[in-house]
Structure 1
Amino acid sequence: MGRSWRAVTLDLARCLLCPAITRCHCARVDEGSMRVAGYTSLERNNMTHAFVTGASGFIGGHLVRQLRDAGDEVTCLVRPTSDTSQLDEMKPRYVMGDITAPESFSRYLADVDVVYHLAGATKSLRKRDLHRINVEGVRMVAHACAHQRSPPTLVHVSSLAAVGPTTCSCPRIESDEPQPVSNYGRSKLAGEVEVAEFAGDVPITIIRPPIVLGEADRDGLTMFDSIARWNLHLVPGFSEERFSVVHGDDLAAALILASRQGRRLDPEHPSVGRYFVAADESPTYAELGQMVGQALGRDHVRVLHNPKSAVWAIAAINEFASQVRRRAHILGLDKAREATAGSWICSGRSFEQDTGFRPGCDLQARLDQTARWYIEQGWLPEPRFAPCQAS
């Protein structure tokens, strides 16, 4: 029963459109090797030296592999407790430090061309911890870049959560007024404000991803697992909210393109230098479950709609348990605010126009690719499915 309850609560957490559930922004523990191909289609004429924070996280692994596959020199900022197993085979340089302790990494930026700032916190027991990482940490990274003799380009990974959901069918665009609904979203928006203070000294581009899925993603595994084992997909609420999604390969390729061809922050034009990146498709959460089912060889997935009151009830229980255990749960009250707020969709048209970016393949193919990786790594049982042929 304990395993089932955990699966239920974590599957509901996948509804939280924080890109991060954008975990992407957190240097989490991940395992295994990854096969990615996004950066191989980019120009390789100019090899660069990249510095990556949050490299041991899910998105960090995708990014480092694409950079290394292109022959770029990569330095990864990791903490002593970070699991670097997915990075070791790529042979990057490691710097032990923390974004809130600039003395631990600033001297290593002297010969760096690009800093990719992925590190961040998506959940916390206290708001001040979100602020310390997502606001103060961002400021310290930008400050360290600004004080280099030749400041590197800074690509800062924010979140769709910084802008907030949409209550209509219109996707968010870069010129929209931010209206975050969660403490996490407000901390990411505050981080954008902090980094923008350095736009006069550092070339900066901000990327705001939505939900990120892909190989080595432990959070996304929960949705795949419940469908693979029980053919069951839990959906919060009964309305048809839609969600933007991006695959880790495509986000990593977009980050690299942003460093090379993206526009930089302009104090006189607030929307310039900020981009959304997403797949072309914006499925409902029920449709996303059916797409995952197709990737796993399921003809029809059983979709179980839960009232939003159930989301709040589970979140309240998890919040109480988190305080007792002193360990934050992914589905707490803050994430419930996002899960029940409406549709989370954004348009990547501006980024496409400025850089020519296109996802490597469609969302269904990316889900097929992710399912195959989970199965090959033994994270899921072997089903019948049609794998994606990487393009």
Structure 2
Amino acid sequence: MRQWLTLLGRKRVLAVVHTLTYAKRLLDILSLLEADFRVQVVFTAPPHAFGGEVPLFLARLGSAVMPWEEAVRTPFDLALAAGPRELERLQAPLVTLPHGANYLKRLTGIADTGVAGLRRRDVAPAGRLPAALVVPHHAELAVLERTCPEALSRVTVAGDPVYDRITASLPLRERYRAALGLAEDEKLVVMASTWGPHSAFGLFEWLLPRLIGELPHDGFRIAVLVHPNVWSGHGAWQIRAWLARCSGRGVVLVPPEADWRTVLISADWIIGDHGSVTLYGTLTGAPVLLAASPAQEINPDSPAATLAATAPALSPTHSLADQLVYAAREYRSDDYAVINARITSEPGRFNSHMRRLMYRILGLGQPAHPPATLPLPTPPPLTSWRTRTGGGGGVPS
């Protein structure tokens, strides 16, 4: 490929995209390299059980993509990854970071015990330490001291880019709601699910029809945010087929490639579980109800554990409309401020920390301007995400 390039002698950065979730996190970081002609970014997609949608996503992005087997044979000046698999094969100084909010999930299998993302096998895959390990909060240092103490000298406590982006965008809530097509007096209920057998998604079969039946049709809308791993594991057609009877009845299924953050900011209530989206929802001021919060899967030292002890738990035996009213009446912002403070110990400073780290590893001076944390772009209308599964093959209509 090199012989066809116009600009030569650039510093080369490899973005390692295992899944769609990882891709979205890395795009936030790569925006810090925009407009710098000294840097060329190349993407690659390692094999992954939930990576089926990645090639199409990268193609739509218009990025330069290098096949994985070629990428591991090619030297780079910096590699970025939000997941640990096969990273030991790379020929580049490696920076790793979490792909979601904090480190929420606890694994209890015989071979996989520990906090996902902070186990030795996650921090140093195949025994190889990264050049830098980026974490969101100083509290993670105590965990690393137990699991992989030799990594402590390589840790950068940088904060959380999604936290910062959502916070910067909160003043635009009314603009986002108008763009989504919500009337001024219309209420939006956002249902969020992580992936796995203990997630909220398995409850949607009865929860969505009940919400549709109990809430006034002319005053409420429902948006469903499902983790990309659910889409990848079951297939987009199947997800849309399972929820097809709810579509068009005030329910919109947000596709996995869409930016869910403006939808979350627009919510009047959030019904979720122990996943990152629900946790980020605590930043918005919307009352949160938990449809699922499995103690065996939650890191007890994480903000997800505090959320599970704070937010009201959804009851299958009481009126859902009444439970929404109860959650709004009982909501106390101070309770959620404690949760928010555990997501990041560097609020508003992720871009500064992360850009400084990347340019130090690249051996370049930073651009002579502060890295801005921009508000999120205006979303498309909710109606643009209506779906069909019949002759349309399950594509957005």
TM-score by length of 1: 0.39
**TM-score normalised over the length of structure 2:** 0.39
Larger radius of gyration: 2
